[in-house]
Each structure stands twice: as structure tokens, then as C-alpha cells.
Amino acid sequence: MQRIFIVGLGLIGGSLISNIKYHHPHIHIIGYDYFEKHSEIAKSMGMIDEIAEDFESVASTVDLIILATPVKQSIEYGKRLLEIETKNGLIVTDTGSTKLGLSTLETDLLNKNIHLIGGHPMAGSHKSGVTNSKKHLFENAYYILIHDHKENEVAHDEVKWLLEQTKAKFIKMSAKEHDYVTGVVSHFPHVIASSLIHMNEENTQVSEYVRTLAAGGFRDITRIASSNADMWRDITLENKDHLVTLMENWIEQMEQIKDLISEGNPTLIHDFYQSAKTYRDELPIKEQGALTSTFDLYVDIPDEPGMISKVTQILGSNRISITNIRILEVREDIMGALRLSFKSSYDRDRAIEALSTFDTYTL
């Protein structure tokens, strides 16, 4: 593998290619982005060796293509590969959140001796863009690789080998299973979070305090509703069949819970909450999943001058960086007056140790 073509130089594409460049410096990397400035920045940062002027001319000369673009664009690029001459055994992978749409091209591409290995790195950041790329972004995150034909097994192994230095945890799935699983654990929760936000907004007409008191736990549990609307529109449309089924199941479950509440049966209502608590408490704590992880530490501090600066001073003296700090006014179900956010569980664990003189909690 001598030449790689990266299409899309945002946070994910930039982080992937910077990792490859660091661990495989002999590989010649060509970059392309719809926004020419992104390509120029990537070149100036040493991520890529060359800027592509167009897709077709470069795609016909490389050994591997990474499509780090929105799902619909990746599908269009896949279709364009069917219309041009490419190197024998070309490997194509992507970074999209849905796979059924792109996987419909796998057979046709294979007939041209092009091997499609879908990819979904389950990592992200509160900061976007190529300038925020990090070669360690995928460390300990799940990275799903997808193909449906056994003829693509060798290509699957090559992609995994190329990306092993990211220190991600690789999972192999079919396209159908991928979209179902991510629909349950990622796509559907985004729909629900956005719906809860709309409900909150509608009820501000009843009382202005609905918005005020949403500043605490409600804002935390709906944080994913702040995601990019264009991206989630495309994901929703691409995975609409699974989402519709999940919504039908959800509506049925809500009807059952509504009946429980209407009947006022304390035993069954308790069982509803208890079974949910039991299952949630058994979920992995230190694993990164489909939703972007947050590494927060809630700290109880006295309401005295200088206490916040004391916390930050302790962290600074231990060379622990924080990504955000917030004073909480509404703290129902949250154990702490100060929320500190970190970029990794490692930094958060170090902070817990450093702030051992305080009463600290993690969520």
C-alpha cells in the first residue's frame, strides 16, 4: 500500500490521516476537501503530501480511498468509482454512521475488483474541523468494519492493519446489523432527545420556569440534541426503516407505561424504574460507545471566595487539562456544585485523585 486518497478533511478524516501519516510515514497521502482551505491547512500541518484537484484523476491511481464525508456524499463517490478505471484491487472505506445505503454498491464494486470495507469510528469531539484533528482521537473507541462478501476478507484485514495504531477496538459486522444496532443505541436516542427539547420549548408557554429549571439535569440528558442538524437529517433518512420500527416499539412501550401510571399500581411502577436502573448500572462504565462520551467530574465546594480558583490551581499544578468548567445552579439528581469536563477518562481519574480533599463524584 503506497498511495492513499483521503476525501474529506474534517475532524474524523484529519484525525485518521494524521494517525496513518505518523505510523506509516512511507505512505504517500493525497487529500481532497470540498473546501479548498481545509486541504491547504492539512498540507501545511503535514497530514497530507499532496492536494488533489479533483476526485476522478486521483482515484484512478491510488491503492486505498478513505471517504470521510457525509453518508450521501460517500455513496455518490462510490457510484463514481463504477464509472472510472481504477487500480486492480483498490480498497475503499468510509467513516459514515449508516451503512446499508453504501453497502448496496459492494457487489458492483467487487465486480470491478474494488473492495468496499465500510468503516464507522465511534469517536468525536466537542470541537470540529481539521485544525482540531488528533491522532489519538480513536484510542479505546469502537471502530466497526463492515462487509457482506467473503471476497472482501483480505481487504478487511488490510484496513484493520492500517488503522491498528489508532488503538481503537475493532468490531466486525454486516451492514444490516450495524444500522440496526446504531439505530438502537445512537440514532433513536437523538430523535428522543430532540423531541424532549421541543416538548420543553412548547411548555415554556405554560410557565417560564420550565426553561429556567431545564438548566440542570434536563440539559445534560439532552445534550446530544445539540448535534449538527444537517448530519442528523441525513442519518435519519438513511436509517429510516429501523428508526420507524423503533419508534413504533417506543410508542407501544409508552402506552404501557401510561396505563401503569393511570392505574396507579405502585408495585409495577417500582418494577419499571428498578429494572431500568438494574440494566443501566450493568452497562460498561469506562467503555466508549456509540454516543460520544463525556468525562465529567462533579465537585462539591463551599460557597466561599477563591474556591473555584483553588480547584483549578490544584489541577494546574498536576498538569491536568480541563475542556470545560461550569457552575451548576439547578442540581437535582446531580451530586455537586461544580462540573469539570475532561478530554479523557484518564485525565478525569487523575483529577479525582488530585482533588481528594474535596467531596467528588463522577457520572
**Cβ atoms of residues 119 and 95 within 8 Å:** yes
Please give the average per-residue pLDDT across 221-236, as a whole number. Answer: 87
CATH topology of domain 295-362: Alpha-Beta Plaits (3.30.70)
Give the per-residue SS3 of the chain.
CCEEEEECCCHHHHHHHHHHHHHCCCCEEEEECCCHHHHHHHHHCCCCCEECCCHHHHHCCCCEEEECCCHHHHHHHHHHHCCCCCCCCCEEEECCCCCHHHHCCHHHHHHCCCEEEEEEECCCCCCCCHHHCCCCCCCCCEEEEECCCHHHHHHHHHHHHHHHHHCCEEEEECHHHHHHHHHHHHHHHHHHHHHHHHHHHHHCCCCCHHHHHCCCHHHHHCHHHHCCHHHHHHHHHHCHHHHHHHHHHHHHHHHHHHHHHHHCCHHHHHHHHHHHHHHHHCCCCCCCCCCCCCEEEEEECCCCCCHHHHHHHHHHHCCCCCCEEEECCCCCCCCCCEEEEECCHHHHHHHHHHCCCCEEEEC
Give me the pLDDT at residue 358, please.
58
Does residue 203 carry a pLDDT above 90? Answer: yes
More confident residue, 219 or 10: 10
Of the listed ranges 41-50, 62-71, 123-132, the least confidently predicted one is 123-132
- Global pTM reads 0.77
Encode burial over 325-341: b for 16+ CB neighbours within 10 A, e otherwise.
eeebeeeeebebbbbbb
Residue 147, pLDDT > 90, answer: yes
Q: Apex CA 350: angle with CA 346 and CA 354, to 5°?
A: 170
| Residue 135: other Cβ atoms inside 10 A | 20
pLDDT tier, 352 (very low <50, low <70, confident <90, very high otherwise): confident
Q: Torsions phi, psi of 186, nearest 5?
A: -135, -60
For 38-64, what is each residue's pLDDT tens digit? 999 999 999 999 999 899 999 999 999
Residues 6+ apart with CB under 8 A from 331: 216, 337
What average pLDDT score do residues 236-255 get?
95
The pLDDT of residue 294: 64
Computed over every residue of the chain, the mean pLDDT equals 87
Binned at pLDDT 50, 70 and 90, residue 245 comes out as very high
pLDDT score of 1 more than 80: no
Burial class (CB in 10 A: 0-12, 13-18, 19+), 55: middle
How many Cβ atoms sit within 10 Å of the Cβ of residue 312? 14
What is the number of other CB atoms lying within 10 angstroms of the CB of residue 83?
8
**Fold type of domain 3-173:** Rossmann fold (3.40.50)
Q: What is the CATH number of domain 178-281?
A: 1.10.3660.10
Q: What is the mean pLDDT of residues 153-174?
A: 95
Quick one: pLDDT at residue 71?
92
Say how many Å lie between the first and final Cα of the chain, rounded.
Answer: 43
Amino acid identity at 21: K
Q: 167's torsion region: left (phi>0), alpha (psi -120 to 50) or beta? A: left
Residue 288 above 70 pLDDT?
A: no
Q: Give the percent of the chain with pLDDT over 70.
A: 90
Q: What is the pLDDT of residues 173-186, one digit of tens each?
A: 999 999 999 999 99
Every domain range in the chain assigned CATH 1.10.3660.10: 178-281
Q: What pLDDT band is residue 9 in, cutting at 50, 70 and 90?
A: very high
Q: What is the pLDDT of residues 78-120, one digit of tens each?
A: 999 999 999 999 999 999 999 999 999 999 999 999 999 999 9
CATH 3.40.50.720 domain residues, the chain: 3-173
Show the cell assigned to 189: 436516542
pLDDT at residue 359 is higher than 70 = no
pLDDT single digits (tens) 306-349: 778 888 888 888 888 888 787 655 434 444 467 788 877 778 88
Q: How confident is the model at residue 208 (pLDDT cuts 50, 70, 90)?
A: confident
Residue 113's pLDDT is: 97
Confidence band, pLDDT 50/70/90 cuts, at residue 165: very high
The dihedrals phi and psi of 362, each to the nearest 5 degrees, come to: -120, 150
pLDDT at 361: 46
Cα→Cα distances 348→217, 261, 291, 358, Å: 20, 39, 18, 14
The grid coordinates listed for 335 are 451530586
Q: CA–CA separation, 244 vs 242, rounded Å?
A: 6
Residue ranges of the chain that CATH labels 3.30.70.260 = 295-362
- Whether the per-residue pLDDT at 236 is higher than 70: the answer is yes
